[in-house]
Amino acid sequence: MKTNLNIGPELLNNREAFSDEFYSRFQLRHAPAPLQLNSTVAKDYLFPTFYGDVTCAIGIFFCSHKKARELMPNPKMQPISMGKGRSLVVFSNYIYRNVLGVIPYNEIAMTIPVLIDPLVNVPVLPMILPLFKNFGYYCFSMPVTSLENQIRGEKIWGLPKVVQEINIEVKSDLCQVEAKESTGETYYELQVPTTGKPTNFDVSANLYSKRGQEFLQSATHFKGNFNVIKHMGLLLKGPQIPDRQYLKLHNTPSGNVLKNLGLEEHPFQLRFSNKMVSCFDLPKIQKI
């Protein structure tokens, strides 16, 4: 999807697109004040933001624990240890066809699973068992195709959004993702199989970010049927050579930031859904 730099004066009137039972769990409300998007346009959005008819392709890769730790904005925010000096990077790629009040757009959330101020950084278990209240995901990069949503993400949640061209296309049994620098150079390519073990997800999680000097915690919820490919045996092994190149990073400024994380070639998990529903709520200040 090409970048969209237009900001219309009105909210999109599309409430009828969100009839799934999932959305009835949440009470819609306005923020304390409308969001000023530019010198002439302010919008009074409803929250949480609802997303419908979402295509979601996720690639999870091992990375250097040391390099992941260097990205943390606070030493009390600790990347999850996966053993053998490794952490994880999660690349979540979205086609948002319906967004409450907002025009459609594509987005990539690049996150690292973390614990906030843990007494002990327990390896692996926070990724498997929902027992850790201080578990969540730190977002270190979030390319988006829409200027309006870049401003929303930055001003409301402190998310590191940048407007870029993001192409997401399903071809045969692969979902192919491409992100480009503002100069037009491709820096990120990901291939996620659309096949795998059918798995139902109905998940709530925390997304952590930093807005100015404030650390924020925002609740995200999603539900959908995913086809999942897991390689749990990699927990006991070192880097492996995959059957194909799932992730390709180019020598550009954004690509080199990702390369610096020491990402392994072989994915740990791959997930695909062609019809997910989700929502993202207003942030709360997180004391660290």
State residue 238's pLDDT score: 87
State residue 132's pLDDT score: 83
Tally of CA atoms within 13 A in the half-sphere of 124 that contains its CB: 10
Whether residue 249 contacts residue 179, with contact meaning beta carbons closer than 8 Å, is answered with no
Tokens of 229: 């490919």
Whether residue 114 contacts residue 78, with contact meaning beta carbons closer than 8 Å, is answered with yes
Residue 173, in any domain of the structure: yes
Residue 27, in any domain of the structure: yes
Residue 270, in any domain of the structure: yes
Residue 6, in any domain of the structure: no
Q: What is the pLDDT of residues 36-87, one digit of tens each?
A: 999 999 999 999 999 999 999 999 999 999 999 999 999 999 999 999 999 9
State residue 130's pLDDT score: 74
Residue 253, in any domain of the structure: yes
pLDDT at residue 126 is higher than 90:
no
Number of domains in the chain: 1
State residue 66's pLDDT score: 98
Q: Quick one: average pLDDT of 203-219?
A: 95
State residue 188's pLDDT score: 98
Q: Name the pairing type of β-strands 135-144 and 197-211.
A: parallel
Whole-model pTM over 0.75: yes
Of the candidates 252, 273, 244, the one whose C-alpha atom is nearest the C-alpha of residue 179 is 252
CATH number at residue 236: 2.40.400.10
State residue 148's pLDDT score: 98
State residue 128's pLDDT score: 84
Residue 194, in any domain of the structure: yes
Name the one residue in this structure whose structure tokens are 């987005």. Answer: 107
Residue 275, in any domain of the structure: yes
Q: Quick one: average pLDDT of 129-155?
A: 94
Taking CA atoms, 239 is separated from 31, 86, 100, 235, 264, in Å, by 46, 10, 42, 10, 6
The per-residue pLDDT of the chain, averaged, comes to: 96
The boundaries of the domain holding residue 183 are 15-285
Residue 57, in any domain of the structure: yes
State residue 244's pLDDT score: 95
